[in-house]
Structure formats: C-alpha cells, structure tokens
C-alpha cells in the first residue's frame, strides 16, 4: 500500500485516539470540550496546531503554584468567569493549591491570598497595561528568577487565548459562580484596574 493511500487510515486512527483523549479530559476536569471537537472535525491540521499552542502556553517552571495560579486565575476571570475559570480552579486544586488560597484568588482578595497576591497584582498590572506590573514582576524575578516571570506571562496568554477562541467559535458563556472545594465564590471581574 502506498504512503498516500495509508494517510487517511492513519488520520482516522489519530482522530479516534484524539476523541478518546478529549473524552478523558472532559471526565477528569468536568469541562465541555465541544469546541475542540468542532475544530477537529473542521480541520485536522488546525486541531494539531491548537495542540502545539496548548503545550507551549501551558509551560511553567520555577514559580510556586499559588503565584502561578494567582496570575492565571486572575487573568481567566478577567476574560471569562464561567467554565474556563472553573477549569483553572479544578486544575489548581488538583495541583494541591490550598482551597482557601484558590477562593481568595477568585474573589480577588489580596489580603487572604498569601504569596498568590503577587501573581494577582502582576496579572492586574499586565492586563491593565499599567506600570503597576513592574513591582510584582521584579519581585517574582528576585525571588524565583526569570523563568518564573516567563511562566506567569505564559499563564496570562493562556488565560486570554482559550476564552477568546471559545467566544469566537460561539461557545462563550455568561459569568457564573465558581465552586472551590464545595464553597461557591463569585468571581471579581471588576478588579482589572490595578488596586492594592
């Protein structure tokens, strides 16, 4: 059999495998990936590129998880305080971030957030395109190095990319309450302006 004739069979096998991985992800995180299935059906190559983007912006290194999720959750709430926020909450809890810290991040409570407040302040400053990002950026770099800053920067990009993609494809959702370890928390979107 020629390579050209073999290609559709290989793509079919890859599609089957990818659909199983999507279903497993949905089950693990309680998150609807209908938009990803639609991308897969629309264009296999576009879906594969989405996978590359996901891997790239999901990278993080050297930054403590509360600080990382402080940045990532703050940015996610700013972009979409619905299912995407719930997904990142679920991931933070799976990564063993203290539920009280996760609740504080979602609520935008700097006083209760501990070290995560540094990530929150950094995200707020960056999203507001404000020089208020400079001090938390410098502190993150001083404590944990340049890769920690880069990790937080990637977290902000991820938080913008996926909600934007979902809204563009017609899968955006209105704001909703978020559940953190059994407690309901109302996301604080209005805190995008830098505040301490």
Closest CA to 123 of 111, 141, 106, 136: 136
pLDDT, residue 81, reads 59
The CA distance from 108 to 101, in Å, is 10
pLDDT, residue 15, reads 87
Mean per-residue pLDDT for 15-23?
A: 93
Mean per-residue pLDDT for 134-161?
A: 96
Sign of CA dihedral 142, 145, 148, 150: positive
Query: Domain spans of the chain?
Result: 3-57, 65-192
- Tens-place pLDDT, residues 70-113: 999 999 999 875 888 999 999 999 999 999 999 999 999 999 99
Q: What is the DSSP letter of 191?
A: G
Helices assigned H by DSSP within the chain: 3-29, 34-42, 44-57, 65-79, 83-94, 99-107, 116-127, 134-144, 146-168
Does pLDDT of 193 surpass 60? no
66, 119 Cβ separation under 8 angstroms:
yes
35, 169 Cβ separation under 8 angstroms:
yes
Does pLDDT of 190 surpass 50? no
- Tens-place pLDDT, residues 41-68: 999 999 999 999 988 888 999 999 999 9
pLDDT, residue 7, reads 73
Confidence at 196, pLDDT banded by 50, 70, 90: very low
Q: Which residue has the higher pLDDT, 71 or 31?
A: 71
pLDDT, residue 171, reads 85
pLDDT, residue 118, reads 97
């Amino acid at each position: 059999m020629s390579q050209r004739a073999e290609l559709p069979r290989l793509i079919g096998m890859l599609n089957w495998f990818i659909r199983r991985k999507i279903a497993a992800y949905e089950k693990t995180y309680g998150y609807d990936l209908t938009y990803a299935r639609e991308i897969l059906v629309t264009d296999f190559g576009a879906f594969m590129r989405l996978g590359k983007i996901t891997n790239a912006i999901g990278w993080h290194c050297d930054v403590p998880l509360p600080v990382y999720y402080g940045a990532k959750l703050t940015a996610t709430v700013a972009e979409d305080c619905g299912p995407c926020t719930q997904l990142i909450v679920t991931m933070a809890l799976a990564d063993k971030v203290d539920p009280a810290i996760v609740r504080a991040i979602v609520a935008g409570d700097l006083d209760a957030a501990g070290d995560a407040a540094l990530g929150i302040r950094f995200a707020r400053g960056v999203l507001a395109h404000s020089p208020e990002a400079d001090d938390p950026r410098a502190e993150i770099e001083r404590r944990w190095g340049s890769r920690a800053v880069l990790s937080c920067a990637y977290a902000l990009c991820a938080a913008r990319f996926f909600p934007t993609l979902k809204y563009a494809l017609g899968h955006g959702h209105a704001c909703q309450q978020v559940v953190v370890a059994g407690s309901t928390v109302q996301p604080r979107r209005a805190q995008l302006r830098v505040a301490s």
